[in-house]
Amino acid sequence: FSSKNDYIIIPHHSYSTSDLLLIKGKKKGIGISATTMFRNFNLPNLEIFNQYNCISDYSYCTCKKERNDIRNGIIIYEINLTDSYSCIKLIHSAVSYNEYINI
């Protein structure tokens, strides 16, 4: 954590203990944060997901709780080191943080 992190997968589907990594991330910031849906335990935790979003340039989740799609989406972070190019691709039901919270 000596510099800004390009990409962090939020631990434990953004369960309440996922905030431990926030302490380190707040110091330098995060380029992209991502979490996965876990409907059986009503995760991600929106409060935790929001905290990660506040220190990230972009945040994503594999699905919205309200969707009836039984499979999670896929978040692809593609990097071309030769051309210094990167992009995010959201497949199936994956959504950005803004889409996630706008119910």
pLDDT digits (tens, 9 = 90+) for 6-38: 778 888 888 888 877 887 777 778 888 999 888
Residue 4 is classified by DSSP as -
In the block, residue with structure tokens 């994503």: 60
- The backbone torsions φ and ψ at residue 82, rounded to the nearest 5 degrees and listed phi first, read -65, -45
Q: How far apart are CA 72 and CA 2, in angstroms?
A: 33
58 and 77 Cβ atoms separated by less than 8 Å? no
The per-residue pLDDT for 54 is: 92
pLDDT band per the 50, 70, 90 thresholds, residue 59: very high
pTM: 0.82
